[in-house]
Every structure is written in structure tokens, then in C-alpha cells.
Amino acid sequence: MSAQATVDPAVAGGPVLQSAEFEFLRRFVLEHCGISLGDHKHQLVQGRLLRRLRALGLKSFAQYCDMLRHDPAAELGELASAISTNVTSFFREVHHYELLENELLPAWLAHKQRAGDRLRIWSAGCSSGEEPYALAMVLAEALARTNSTLDAKILATDLSPQALATARKGVYPLDRIGGISAERCRRWLLRGAGEYEGLVSVHPQLRELVTIQPLNLLHDWPMSGPFDAIFCRNVVIYFDQPTKQRLFRRYAQLLPVGGYLFLGHSESLHGINDDFELIGRTVYRKRG
């Protein structure tokens, strides 16, 4: 999840975001989403939220701020979606998937042989679903290669209602599948026809492996783990330092010793958390 610094010309004009309203929104977003908005984001926030004002039939940012004060939870997901951009793709940062396919999954499947054993991966900040479905492709192939019947699932969570709606549909335009090999396209994607021409749908087998749920990472978590791996990539880049520290401590609590945490290409645990050791490019393993 990353913020952009441009104002959409399609929403130019309309109500003006006053300084006091921007300050309120900055505090609200930091408290509820963990995102720190600098002074230079004033115009971005105004441009992004004009659409929400129009969708809600509001005439001013003051009315919008009053609505947030009255019922913070009702608009939180829409607000987070409006001020951030979910940038994702299938098999983004491919070295993570190569590690999973070539080392981690073979080791896990070899050791998880007892009754009751299970495999759990969490895609935290799953955006529109490309990450968890790419993980599901790699997982499904590993299970098939070993004829494994292991209880294996992927949890995919995000705060954005729009992103989750796309993830649940599992339908994508052809220009979004460039990171998937031709072999995997044939195996895991169903091409649309007629009114669905130019679209692909993920295979039902992948859907069975992925559970998609809304979740605010700053609030309570209903799951107790443990997870074998957590993917939290390009999610915390705009979080402030105390929020990052709290979040990574919570991740450590849901991972066993030797469990893995995957971060985005511009993210690091250096100076933030010492529960993990760096073992590869933005790949961390929980210390014993």
C-alpha cells in the first residue's frame, strides 16, 4: 500500500480542505491506519477525498470530519482506500516465491507428517488478491508434486473494501497477469468469453486454498496462529516508527521459532525489531 503525490484532475474543484480539517484527518489516519501523512500530502488528501464527499452526498470536508468523529469504523476502510494506492501484481518480487517454492515448501511438507499438522501462510495487506493467489499457485503445485493431503491454507487480509471485493471475485484483466508464466496461466487461469472477453478468473482450486477477510492491522486480530510465514510487503512503508515496532512484535508472537517474515523491497527491520534475523533479500526468520 503506497501513497501517490498527485491530484486527480477528474476531481479538481469542489470543497476546499481547510488546515484544521487536514490536521484532524492526519491524526485520525495515523491513529486508525498507522499511516503518517506529511504536510505535503494536503493537496493529495483533498483530491482523493473529494470523490468520497460526492459519493456520500456531503458538501464540505467539515461534514466528512464530523462523520468520522461520530462513527470512525463505518468509513475507515473507504478512507484508507481513498488516501492510499494498492500497488501489486502477480509474482511481484519473484525471489520470494522462488525461496518458497525451492526451499521452504519442500522442507515444510517433508516435516509436517503427523496427524493434525497444518501449514498456514498469511498475506497481510493482500490488496486486490494477486499476492495470495500467486502464493496459492506455488502451494498447490507443491502439494501436487508430493501427493500431500496436508491441511494447508492461506489467509489474505486487507483494510480496503474495494481491494477485498476484487480479491474475492478473483477476476483480472489480461494486462494484470504479465508476471505469471505461460504454463501457470494455462493451469491456473480461466479465460473469459463473450462479455468477459479480455478477463481471466483464478481456478477454483486456488480459491479453496485462500480465505479472504477484512482486517485492520492496528486493531485486534481474531486469529491466534501459528503461521509458518507472513507476507507483509509494501504495507508499512508509510507507518511511523512506533507503529512498525508494535506491528512486528505482534507478527513475532504469531510465528514459531524459525518462522518467516517477508517484507517489501524498500522495507527493513533494521533498528525496529530484533526478534528476526535477515536471511535473504527482505526475508527474515524468527530467532530462537
Give the Cα separation of 184 and 135 in Å (integer): 12
**What's the burial of 30, exposed, middle or buried (CB within 10 Å: 0-12/13-18/19+)?**
middle
Catalytic (active site) residue 233: no
Q: How many CB atoms lie within 10 A of CB 223?
A: 14
Catalytic residue among 26, 48, 233, 285: 48
pLDDT in single tens digits along all 288 residues of the chain: 444 334 444 345 578 999 999 999 989 988 887 777 888 889 989 988 998 999 899 999 999 999 999 998 888 888 887 887 666 889 999 999 999 999 999 999 999 988 899 999 999 999 999 999 999 999 999 999 999 999 999 999 998 888 999 999 999 999 999 899 999 999 999 999 998 999 999 999 999 999 999 999 999 999 998 999 999 998 888 788 899 999 999 999 999 999 999 999 989 999 999 999 999 999 999 998
pTM value is 0.83
Select which of 26, 52, 120, 158 is catalytic: 158
> Is 48 in the active site?
yes
